[in-house]
Each structure stands twice: as C-alpha cells, then as structure tokens.
Amino acid sequence: MTTFVYKALEPSGRSKEGRIEAADEQAAIQSLAAEGRFVTEIREEKASPTAQAAGDKKGGNASKADVALFMRRMADLAGAGLPLDRVLQILGEQTENGKLSQAAADALSEVRGGLPVSDALAKNPKLFPPVITLSLAAGEASGRFGESAEKLADLLENDVARRSQVVSALVYPGVLTATSLMVVVFLLTFVVPRLSTAFADNADLPAPTRILMSATDVLTNNWLALLIGLGVGLVLLRGFLATEAGQIARDRFILGLPIFGPLQQKIIVSRYARVLGTLVFGGVPILEALHLAGLAGGSKIFEAKSRDVEAEVREGVSIAQAMKDTGVFPPVLTHMVAIGEETGDLPRMLGRVSNTLDFEVETGLRRLTSLLEPIIILAMGGFVAFVVLSVMLPIFQAQEMVR
C-alpha cells in the first residue's frame, strides 16, 4: 500500500487536505469519490526527513532511560512554545534510539493527519504505556501539555534513578556471593577429593569430615543430574512466576523478608504516590488515576489493594480513608493525602510523600549494602574454616592414636 496526500472538496464545498493509503493513485481517487469527495490534487507522499532519519538509526530495544530522555526532550520543546508537530519532528531527528525515532516519525504523520499527540503515541503501547498517554491527553485537553510532559519526565527519570540505585547497591554483594559460590564449588570438586583419598581407609572419621566427604561425593558423582535438576527447576519457577498466583507469591515472599521487605514496600509506595500525583496533576479522572497507579506500582498485592481503594472511592469514601482501610499504605501517605484532599492540592502532597520515601529508600539501601558485605564475608570465612577443620581433625586424631 502507498500513502497519498490529497486535496479534495467536501460535499459541503469546503476544501480538505489529508492522507490516504491505497494500491495506486486511481484506487485512492475512487476511494475518496465513494466518500463523496471531489479530488482536486493528489500525489504520492515522500518519506519525510524525520522518517528517513528514523530509518537510518539502529532499532534496538528502547530502555526506560531512553523513554525518560525522550519525554524530557518533549517537555523542554513543548515548554519552549513550539507547535506539537514541530516537537515530534525534532524528536524524531534528535532521538538516538531507532524505535523511539520511528515512533516519533509515525506520530508526526498521525498528528498532521488530525490525531492528537496522545492518541498517536498510544499506538505504541510498549513504548508509551497508558500512564504516559492518558496524562498527555489530559494535558492537551487542559492546555497544559508542556507541564504534563515535564511531570512525566520527572516521574520517568526518578524511576530510572531508583532502579539504577538499587542495582548499584546490590552489585558488590552480588559479586561477593558469586565469588563465594565459585570458591565453594572449587574446594568441593577439586581440593577436597584429593585430600579425602588420604582418609579413605579410616572408618572412624570425625563428623565434620564425614559431612564434607559426603557433600563432595554428591557433587562430583552427580553433577550432571544436579545441573539438569537446577535447569528444570528454574524453568518451572519461571513458568510459575509468569502466572498471577506466582507473582502474588513472589511479592508476598519479598515483602516478608527482613530488612529488604520494608525497603521494597517503600519503593512501591513511593512510585505509587508519584504516579498518582502525576496523573492527578495532568487532569486524569481520579478513579482512572488510582487504577493506573496500582498497575504501575510493580506489585500484585498493592495492585489488588489499589483496586479496593478505587472501589471505595467510587462509593463516595475519601481517598485517604480508603487507603487507610486497606492496611498496606503507610500513615505518612494517608495523612498527606487527607491534607491534599482538604486543601485541594493533592498532587503536591503526593510528591512530598514520594520524596520522603525516596530519601528513606536511599538511606535503607546504604544500610542494606553495609550489612550484606560482612555477612557474606563471614559466611565465606566460616565455610573455609569448616573445610580446614574437617581436614585437620583426622590428622589430629591420627597423632593421638600414635601417642
């Protein structure tokens, strides 16, 4: 199919410009004539510089950081007073990621055909979820598109920064854990078997030595079965976590962990409050905002509780009271929401709650990292000490028998 740009007269006599896809020019004219339009000019649409620029870039998957940068640039350009079609044209040419650049080019074509920016971007739901498109739609309707885009950029940038912070905090403990596991496997598969041959004829071995030798035998003689079992277990676990029941079980397990559980709860509530505040600021209806905030929280448990809040608010209960009734939202959120409802400044109160929780998360991550490092080192040292003790005990036992 080819895209044609046309000028035609409506039955009312008014001139109209637009685009139409057809197999050839004659088919396009016939299609327009069937709609009662008299074509005065028609030509094949050439690829715009924006589309050409998008085609020249690498596709690649767009990360959350890419989308956040895209939204920040959109907010800056819209805030500078540029027309929205010009904003999309510049974004298509400026964006490095191929998918986002192509999305901007496609949206530009739709917008020039009369579609709102939010609806044009909504045709790429994997890149622009409802949280983004509905907030932009409300901003377009209220004439505050630039402000809505800026709030969305703040939201996405904060989300990227939080994820990066969590990953950075867990990198060093993760490396320590992986190194410790490799040392354990090396000792049990290479070092201990060579030492255990010296004790093969000794039937009266100390308990630690017997445990170590049994573990070594299991690992060296059944390594293939263990690997297959581990692979099957991971596949089954992944399949279970893909179900709603599995996701609920996972979330319940994580939230029940000491230290990390309360930290994860603060991360979820912070994001929930920030998303809700962004949507309310943009003018999204409160029930729809509550629904989308629950989906964006990243926890099936909080998503279900958000649906409960939505149901109570629909019946006339205040948002603060509905949140309090669920029992999962912290008092700092419910009290600030109550103040926001009373003063009519709910978005600002939600933003303050999110900032407070973000500070607590940052502090908690530092504490968690400082706590995990010595625990992993002590665990590794304890295992090495157990191996040394298991090897040395039979030697001491033999010396006692000689005496």
pLDDT at 396 over 80: no
pLDDT tens for 16-46 read 777 777 777 888 888 888 888 888 888 776 6
pLDDT tens for 234-249 read 999 999 988 888 888 9
Domain count, the chain: 3
Q: Which CATH number do you get for residue 82?
A: 1.20.81.30
Task: Round the average pLDDT of the chain to a whole number and report it.
Answer: 83
pTM value > 0.75: no
Q: Which of 384, 390, 374 is nearest to 186 (CA)?
A: 384
Residues 322 and 230 in one domain: yes
Question: How far apart are the C-alpha atoms of 277 and 271, rounded to whole Å?
Answer: 10
Residues 261 and 399 in one domain: yes
| Phi, psi values for residue 16, rounded to 5° | -140, 140
Neighbours of 347 (CB within 10 A): 18
pLDDT tens for 148-192 read 889 888 888 888 888 888 888 778 888 888 888 888 888 777 777
| Phi, psi values for residue 307, rounded to 5° | -65, -35
**pLDDT at residue 44, as a whole number:** 75
Residues 245 and 346 in one domain: yes
Tokens of 66: 């890419």
Question: How far apart are the C-alpha atoms of 111 and 96, rounded to whole Å?
Answer: 21
Residues 36 and 60 in one domain: no
pLDDT at 101 over 60: yes
Residues 94 and 177 in one domain: no
Cβ atoms of 5 and 22 closer than 8 Å: no
Question: How far apart are the C-alpha atoms of 111 and 78, rounded to whole Å?
Answer: 15
Residues 285 and 341 in one domain: yes
Cα 393 to chain centroid, rounded = 52
The 8 Å CB, 24+ separation contacts for 107-114 are: 108/48, 108/50, 109/19, 109/48, 109/51, 111/84, 111/85, 112/19, 112/85, 113/18, 113/19, 114/18
Residue 315 domain-assigned (yes or no): yes
In the block, which residue shows the tokens 């998957």? 61
Residue 103: C-alpha distances to residues 2, 53, 150, 383 (Å): 19, 12, 19, 54
Q: At what angle do helices 64-79 and 145-186 cross, to 10 degrees?
A: 160
Q: Which of 39, 14, 13 is nearest to 22 (CA)?
A: 39
Which DSSP symbol is given to 199? Answer: G
73: domain range?
A: 50-128
Residues 341 and 381 in one domain: yes
Confidence of residue 55 (pLDDT cuts 50, 70, 90): very low
Q: At what angle do helices 260-282 and 300-314 cross, to 10 degrees?
A: 40
In the block, which residue shows the tokens 């046309």? 6
Question: How far apart are the C-alpha atoms of 247 and 254, rounded to whole Å?
Answer: 11
